[in-house]
Structure 1
Amino acid sequence: MKIGNKLTLLFTGIIAGLLLIFALAVYVSYHKNRQEEYYKELDKIAITKANLLLNAKVAPSVLQLIYRNSRNILFDEEVAIYDTSFNLLYHDAVEIDKVKETKTMIDEIIKKKQIQFYQGQMQVIGLIYHHKSGDYILTAAAKDNFGYAKLNNLKYTLIISYLISVIFIYLSCLFFAKRALKPVSDLVDEVDEITATNLDLRINEGNGKDEIAELAITFNAMLNRLEKSFDAQKEFVSNISHELRTPLTAMLAELQLTLNKERSNDQYRESIHQAISDAQKVVKLSNSLLDMAKANYDRTEITFKELRIDEVLLDARSDLLNAHPGYKTNIIFEKEIEDDDFISIKGNEYLLKVAFINLMENGCKFSAEQECAVAITYHKNKTILRFQDHGIGIHQEELSQIFSPFFRGENKHFTEGNGIGLFLAKKIIDLHQGTIAVVSHVGEGTMFTLEFIHV
């Protein structure tokens, strides 16, 4: 069921329920008032006849004659008057005698002073009437035909009004629900037009204030992220294709040339060595891509634990020197570490090692002496690492692009690479909610500064 129909039925049900409670309250209230008013009316009629009989000394036969001549279908009250000894002094219609008074009833009236009850649909009242000649028992009974007629009329009026109101409420709710949800319908129509081929389209954000506008703004923000992601993916695939094609093509060409022509053992060894070198480039690129994929994970999906940065840095240095024995990496502790907390962060050891290795390797391979120095210190709530080399440096106009994937500047002629290392390092630092900054001067060297917040 659509939301519009659900809202229509929900609000119709709620309002219909409230109207039903209101109608029942009106009906019950009127019914109770009618009952009380008619008891009072019977009381007045009984006392009036008692006054005529006892004070005005009107003969019982005359009162009966008046009663018979005034009877009608709407007012048919029957009054009886007894003394306290249960002797009948007057009765409007003894032959009818609707109430059938008993000695027990008279005793109850004497005890309670006044009683009220129903006999079938008739209301009956009994009370003590104090007169100078003594106390008398009065009873009066009748069916409130006129009151019941008005009550029935009220009942049918309420039922008809209630049904008409429910129908009107349903149609009104249906109309307003459609109007209220029209922006959602328009939103759905606009979203249907957006596909992978036209991610540049955006939906109308309306007034920018209500909930629908918030939804549209959020959806457009998601589209912005998706569009950037798609564009980055296209660029990534294009760069990957190019980076993989170069060493694979070179390796294939070398092997084909070796196969097509007889060569000496030294030449075969040289060809195999070249093919191995190209294969190593592919392996290194593949490993970098895998590391980059891990660094692109959501932070909530990566395992973090408390780590000492100096220990991770020493492990990274060891791995780098094992892979490149000719590199030189010096680690300098600028302050004495008095407490583990001074250089501890919440992090992922593997990813941090990848970032540190990339930065140290970057410093070594762009230095003529293949040397890099790493200084570690702490300040207040931060741990600070500085990776410094005295290599060829980076041109100022290229500094803003060095963290882009597959970017290689003018220094690409100095040594081989694939342009992933710095991009990957920044990704990892961002995942650890750290910062990375770079200062470089051509011919003097480069320094990367990393800052991590303490745990």
Structure 2
Amino acid sequence: MKVRTRLTLLFTFVTAMLMVFYGIAVYYSSSEAREISFYAQLRNEAVAKANLFFQSTLSEKEMHRVYKNNTKTINEVQVAIYDPEFNLIYHDDSKVDYVKEDPKMLSNIQKKKELSFFIDDLQAIGTIYSHNGKEYLVTAAGYDQYGYKSINHLLTISIIAFISILILVYLAGIFLSKKALNPISEMVNQIKKITAGKLQLRLKTTGEKDELNELAQNFNGMLERLENSFDAQKHFVSNISHELRTPLSAIITELELSAEKEQTKDEYQQTIQYALDDARNMVKLSNSLMDLAKASYDPNEISFSEIRLDEILLESYSKIIKENSEYKVSLNIDSDIDEPQLLLQGNEYLLQVAFNNLIDNACKYSPIHTCSIEVKGDSKTLSIQFINTGITISQNDLLHIFEPFYRSEDSRKEKGYGIGLFLTEKIIHLHHAMIKVESKNNETVFTVIFDIETN
């Protein structure tokens, strides 16, 4: 069932329930009012007939004649009068006695002074009438034909109005729900046009501050992120294909040349060595891509714990020196830094990958293969500088240095894939820190700044 139909039916159902409750209340209160009004009419009729009997010059026969004449045109109230000893002294029509008074009923009327009750569809009342120091008992009974007719007419009108209003409410509900949900229908039509090849399309938004406009804005934001993700993925796959093609082509070429002609043992060993070097390069590239994938996870899925930055720097320092004996790395930690300043919430493995990349890059592009690490801090921040001397990086290259697979002309002289700095920046940002680079006067400085207050 469509939302439009469900809303219309719900709206109609709620309206119907309210109308039913309202109708019941009106009918019940009208019925109560009719009953009370007719009891008052019976009381007045009983007193009037008693006055007529005791105080007028009309004889009992004449009063009977008046009663019978009235019953031909209206539902005349039937009155009976009893003396204090419960003897009947007057009755409008004793042959058709509505009330059928008995001593028990008369005693009850005498005791309570007034009594009202129903006899089938008839209403009856018993009351005391005083005359010449005696208390007479007067009963009156009648059928409220006009009152019941009015109530039935009210019920008929209410049922007709109920059905008519429900039909109108249902039609109005269809119209209003269609109008209210029309923007959603337009959204659906626009969304149907958005495909993997048309992620640049966006939903129309308005200046209204309502939920639908907020939904469209958030949906457009999601499309923006998806488009960026798709573009990055395409770019990423394209560059990986290019980077993997080079060592694979080299390995294939070397093995094909070796298979085509006889070679000496030394030449075979040299071919194997070339193939191993290319295979190792592919392993390094694969490891870099795996690290990049880990750094690209949702931050909520990466485990963070309390770590010490100085210990991670020492591990990176030892690892780089062990793998590259020609590299020279120095680590200087400011003596004013307290131990708590070196503690933060982070992922030890990822931070070590980032520091390894910064140290390796500094040594790789320094003519004398040196990297100086300076750790400084204050009450709010902790900064780590990775300094090397060598070729100054141009301003144009500095603008693109953190882009994936970007390599400047000078950096192409060294082996690399353009992933390290891009990966490092992602890891630093995951730790709510920032990284910046300056290069001038043959000195390049990468600075990582951690916010101590945040951590």
Shorter-chain TM-score range? over 0.9
Distance 1:120 1:188 in 2: 65
CA deviation string 1:40-76 (max 9, x = no partner): 1001100001111122253222211111111146423
Deviation at 1:201, TM superposition (A): 1.5
The amino acid that maps onto 2:77 is E
Distance 2:325 2:104 in 1: 123
The amino acid that maps onto 1:352 is L
Asked whether the 8 Å contact 1:74–1:144 carries over to 2, the reply is no
Match for residue 400 of structure 2? 401
Distance 1:393 1:339 in 2: 35
Instruction: Determine whether 1:75 maps to 2:75.
Output: yes
The change in CA–CA distance for 1:146 and 1:440 in structure 2 (over 3 A counts) is: same
Match for residue 47 of structure 1? 47
The change in CA–CA distance for 1:116 and 1:360 in structure 2 (over 3 A counts) is: same
Deviation at 1:352, TM superposition (A): 1.0
Match for residue 441 of structure 1? 440
Distance 2:227 2:73 in 1: 86
The change in CA–CA distance for 1:415 and 1:46 in structure 2 (over 3 A counts) is: same
Deviation at 1:397, TM superposition (A): 1.4
Deviation at 1:99, TM superposition (A): 0.5
Match for residue 30 of structure 2? 30
CA deviation string 1:95-121 (max 9, x = no partner): 111111111111211222211111111
CA deviation string 1:342-364 (max 9, x = no partner): 22221111111111111111111
* Counterpart secondary structure, 1:410: coil
Distance 2:287 2:441 in 1: 30
Distance 1:435 1:425 in 2: 10
* Counterpart secondary structure, 2:425: helix
The change in CA–CA distance for 1:73 and 1:402 in structure 2 (over 3 A counts) is: farther
Asked whether the 8 Å contact 1:128–1:138 carries over to 2, the reply is yes
Asked whether the 8 Å contact 1:393–1:446 carries over to 2, the reply is no
Match for residue 373 of structure 2? 374
| 304-313 or 257-266: bigger deviation | 257-266
Match for residue 238 of structure 1? 238
Deviation at 1:429, TM superposition (A): 1.0
CA deviation string 1:246-300 (max 9, x = no partner): 1111122122222223333332222222211111111100000011011111111
The change in CA–CA distance for 1:72 and 1:435 in structure 2 (over 3 A counts) is: farther
Deviation at 1:87, TM superposition (A): 1.4
Structure 1 vs Structure 2: percent identity of aligned residues?
Answer: 43
Distance 1:118 1:73 in 2: 23
Deviation at 1:194, TM superposition (A): 1.0
- Point out where structure 2 has 5 or more consecutive residues left out of the alignment: none
Give RMSD over aligned pairs. 1.6
Q: How does 1:258-269 map to 2 (within 5 A)?
A: 258-269=258-269
Match for residue 185 of structure 1? 185
Deviation at 1:376, TM superposition (A): 2.0
Deviation at 1:442, TM superposition (A): 5.6
Distance 1:108 1:58 in 2: 30
The amino acid that maps onto 1:112 is K
Distance 1:119 1:265 in 2: 129
* Counterpart secondary structure, 1:380: coil
Structure-1-length-normalised TM-score = 0.96
Match for residue 309 of structure 2? 309
Asked whether the 8 Å contact 1:392–1:443 carries over to 2, the reply is yes
* Counterpart secondary structure, 2:392: coil
The change in CA–CA distance for 1:208 and 1:294 in structure 2 (over 3 A counts) is: farther
CA deviation string 1:353-412 (max 9, x = no partner): 111111111111111221112222332233322221123231111111111000011322
Deviation at 1:39, TM superposition (A): 0.4
Q: How does 1:164-203 map to 2 (within 5 A)?
A: 164-203=164-203
The amino acid that maps onto 2:234 is K
Structure-2-length-normalised TM-score = 0.96
Deviation at 1:434, TM superposition (A): 1.2
CA deviation string 1:297-340 (max 9, x = no partner): 11111111121222222222222223223222222111344343
Match for residue 353 of structure 1? 352
Name the count of aligned residue pairs: 454
Q: How does 1:42-441 map to 2 (within 5 A)?
A: 42-72=42-72, 74-340=74-340, 342-441=341-440
Asked whether the 8 Å contact 1:335–1:378 carries over to 2, the reply is no
| 53-62 or 400-409: bigger deviation | 53-62
- Point out where structure 1 has 5 or more consecutive residues left out of the alignment: none
* Counterpart secondary structure, 2:197: coil
Distance 1:60 1:170 in 2: 64
Match for residue 17 of structure 1? 17
